Structure 1
Amino acid sequence: MKKIVSLFILTFLIFSGSLSAQKKGFYENVQKKNINKLLDDFNTLAANADFDKYFDCFAEESTFIGTDATEVWNKKEFKDWAKPFFDKKTTWNFKSLKRNIYFSKDGNYAWFDEILDTQMKICRGSGVVEKIGGKWKVKQYVLSVTVPNEVVDEVVKIKSPIEDALIQKLK
């Protein structure tokens, strides 16, 4: 009888752990769908020059880091910079080709990296999203231009005069 009770308890614990893992996997899949939708909408809203809805994707305290070394903006600064482009309907049109999403242990934060098809050819988007009031919001977004290894020396030659001056200024 003791062996049967022990076997029952062991089976119960294994089954409970399995259900817990399944529940966690289901939760992460749902949250990944929500984050994918946020990021896809984020790109579509920019392409459609929908200023208010685009910036609603950002948390109030957020950062956008652009491709130029000087482009590190809080939400208000980025809005100020972007407003003329949205007003003239000359915004950007990014399409995600591949995206990875990872979660913090508490499930309130996720970070992502993605390969984008853009007017600048392939770029990389990466960032952090936070669940705020039940909705995912962009806390930080980083846009990077990719440089194929075969041409990096040429690119460095082109950008050196500009960036050497910035390096001296930042020292």
Structure 2
Amino acid sequence: MLALVAALALPMAPLQSPEAEVAATIDALHVAASSADSAAYFALFTPDARFIGTDAAERWTLPEFRAYAEPVFARGQGWTYTPVERTVTLAPIACRCIAWFDEVLNNKSYGVTRGSGVLRLTDGGWKIEQYVLSFAVPNDQARAVVETIRSPE
């Protein structure tokens, strides 16, 4: 009994805040993508998740996105987006089971990009419901980019 009392008196490691847990989930997503770890990557999504990519046609369900990404990962290739800054917001106190975020990312090929999305707290921890990747186009270059997109090939 004395050992139990002594054990209870030991300082406990502080629990992570929900915002830190959400950030850790997003960080794990980026690490898994960079290391082409398909199992770890897709385990971070809810079964009904969506991935919205940079191309207007890239609005994928999780099975569709998995069909695209798994062959890439199987070749040992991934994609590396390094977070530069991130804002995480939790739903109001009553729930605190939904979080949304936006982040600025660096990528070797594309430069500065943005990620944003929604996570849901599940029995298995925070899972990604939706992830959106977009290019960060400077306002003074937006017209030229729009014209390029509109131009027929």
TM over 0.5: yes
Q: In structure 2, what is the equivalent of residue 56 of structure 1?
A: 43
CA distance in 2, matches of 1:108, 1:151: 39
**1:79 CA drift (Å):** 0.2
**1:162 CA drift (Å):** 5.2
**Which has the larger helix fraction?**
1
Q: In structure 1, what is the equivalent of residue 110 of structure 2?
A: 120
**Residue 145 (structure 2) pairs with residue 155 (structure 1):** yes
CA distance in 2, matches of 1:31, 1:80: 31
CA distance in 1, matches of 2:124, 2:28: 17
CA distance in 2, matches of 1:85, 1:50: 10
Match of 1:87 among 44, 51, 74: 74
Flag the 1:96–1:69 CA change in 2: closer, same or farther, 3 A. Answer: same
TM-score (norm 2): 0.84
**Residue 30 (structure 2) pairs with residue 43 (structure 1):** yes
Unaligned stretches of 5+ in structure 1?
A: 1-25, 164-171
Fraction of identical pairs, as percent: 34
Max radius of gyration: which structure? 1
**Aligned to 1:69, what secondary structure does the other structure show?**
coil
CA distance in 2, matches of 1:108, 1:63: 18
Unaligned stretches of 5+ in structure 2?
A: 1-13
- Amino acid in the other structure paired with 2:144: E
Q: In structure 2, what is the equivalent of residue 133 of structure 1?
A: 123
Q: In structure 2, what is the equivalent of residue 167 of structure 1?
A: none
- Amino acid in the other structure paired with 1:137: K
**Aligned to 2:89, what secondary structure does the other structure show?**
strand
Q: Relative contact order (C-alpha < 8 Å, sep 6+): which is higher?
A: 2
Q: In structure 2, what is the equivalent of residue 68 of structure 1?
A: 55
The number of residues matched between the two structures is: 137
**Aligned to 2:151, what secondary structure does the other structure show?**
helix
CA distance in 2, matches of 1:134, 1:33: 16
TM-score (norm 1): 0.76
The answer to whether the 8 A contact 2:46-2:129 is kept is yes
Q: CA RMSD in A?
A: 1.7
The answer to whether the 8 A contact 2:119-2:127 is kept is yes
